[in-house]
Amino acid sequence: MINRMGMQKAGFVLLGATTLVVVIPILLVIGYIIYEGMEALSWQFIRAAPFDGMKQGGIFPAIVGTLLLTLGTALVAIPIGVGGTVYLAEYARDTWLTRCIRLAIINLAGIPSIVYGLFGLGMFVLFLKMGTSIMAGALTLAIMTLPVIISTAEEALRAVPTEFRTVSASLGGTRWQGIRYIILPQALPGIITGIILGLLRAAGETAPILFTVAAFFLPHLPQSPFDQTMALPYHLYVISTQVPGMPDSIKYGTALVLLALVLSMNIAASIIRSYFRRRRQW
């Protein structure tokens, strides 16, 4: 008996140790980039455009570019994502066509980001003649973001008890009225969480924007959706691989700004989720 319990104890220690091997590097990466990046961080670094072959100055155009791309992605992905979710969760019956939709969503989630880049190049940049532009990049990112939004938001809609739909119908509500006045308001926090998770993925991706928007170096800000722009992830890639003699501090600083943007979105999503989970009445 002691032997069996001893073995269990040893086993649990092994499992715990493995978990540490997984978790500690995560903390190390984040901690290291924060530690090294803080040095480069200054108001000037955030507000200024780069100059002297990007070896000096700041990353302002890249920050603005990423924010604009994320905004553009949101404008496209939110209506399609939420609409698609409402269809799947509230309207779709279990038919082979519905299964095709689910299969499509699972596959969209699995398609490599670089393949999205190829698609964006082929369809938006060349075929629809948008050129390398914020428009083309945002559309590409939006399609990539859809599965994240849909799967999270669908979970939120399904968590709303069926009985509310029945009650609404029994009071003369049409299906849409029930969705509009009861289901969507109740699922809103979950939907918002899904949207943020999707957008943070879009904000951090590099491969899909490589050939659809990203400018190597562009000291001024984009003037229209048909302009190119710099973007944080691409900028980090460029300065750490393509520019010899780049000072390390600028690389760390850029990595930190990107990481901070993405992590703060992540934290916002968790807070919304847990806050509303505690508050809801069912």
Partner 1 sequence: MVDGKIVIDDVSYAYGGDWILRNVTLHVPPNAVTVFFGPAGGGKTTLLRLINRLNDLVEDTEMSGRILLDGKDIYDRRVNVPNLRRRVGMVFALPLPIPGTIRENVLYGPKLAGMNNPDQLGDILERSLMQAALWDEVKDRLDSPATALSGGQQQRLCIARSLSLEPEVLLLDEPTSGLDPISTRKVEESLYELKQNYTIILVPHSVQQAARVADYAAFFLMGELVEYRPGVDIFVAPRDKRTEDYVTGRFG
Partner 2 sequence: MMSQAETSEKPQFIWTEFVIEASIRVLGFSTIGFVLLIFLFLLLEGVPVFWEVPLKNLFGTRWYPNFGYFGTLPLIFGSAFVTLTAIIIALPLGVLTAVFIREVAPEWLREILKPMVEVLAGIPSVVLGFFGMIVIAPLVRVIFNAPTGLTVFSGALVLAYMSLPTIISVAEDALDAVPKSYRDAALAMGATQWQTIWHVVVPAARSGIAMAVMLGMGRAIGETMAVMMVTGNAARMPLDLGSLFMPARTMTATIAAEMGEVARGGIHYHALFGIGIILFLLTFIINLAAALAIFRKQRRGGLR
Site residues, partner 1 (CB under 8 A):
93-94, 163-174, 177, 181-182, 185-186, 280-282
> Based on CB atoms, which residue is closest to partner 1, 93 or 278?
93
Half-sphere exposure of 65 (CA within 13 A, CB side): 33
Contacted by 220, from partner 2, partner 1, none: CB < 5 to 8 Å by type: none
- End-to-end CA, the chain: 45
Reduce the DSSP state of residue 1 to 3 states and report it. Answer: coil
Residue 129: how many CB atoms within 10 A of its CB?
8
Residue 119 interacts with partner 2 (CB under 8 A)?
Answer: yes
Tokens, residue 194: 């899904």
Q: What DSSP letter does each residue of 163-199 carry, written as one string?
A: HHHHHHHHTT--HHHHIIIIIHHHHHHHHHHHHHHHH
> Based on CB atoms, which residue is closest to partner 2, 180 or 221?
180
Q: What DSSP letter does each residue of 129-142 carry, written as one string?
A: ---SSHHHHHHHHH
**Which residue spans within the chain are E strands per DSSP?**
50-51, 56-57
CA 113-256-145 angle, to 5 degrees, is 25
> Based on CB atoms, which residue is closest to partner 2, 96 or 223?
96
- Span of 17-25, 39-47, 55-63, 219-227 interacting with partner 2 by CB under 8 A: 17-25
Contacted by 182, from partner 2, partner 1, none: CB < 5 to 8 Å by type: partner 1
Q: Which of positions 126-145 make contact with partner 2 (CB under 8 A)? A: 126-127, 143
x-marked contacts with partner 2 along 71-110 as a string, rule CB under 8 A: --------xx--xx-xxx--xx----x-xxxxxxxxxxxx
Minimum CB separation of residue 46 from partner 2 in Å reads 17
Residue 185 interacts with partner 2 (CB under 8 A)?
Answer: no
> Based on CB atoms, which residue is closest to partner 1, 129 or 279?
279
Among 41, 64, 67, 114, binds partner 2 (CB under 8 A): 114
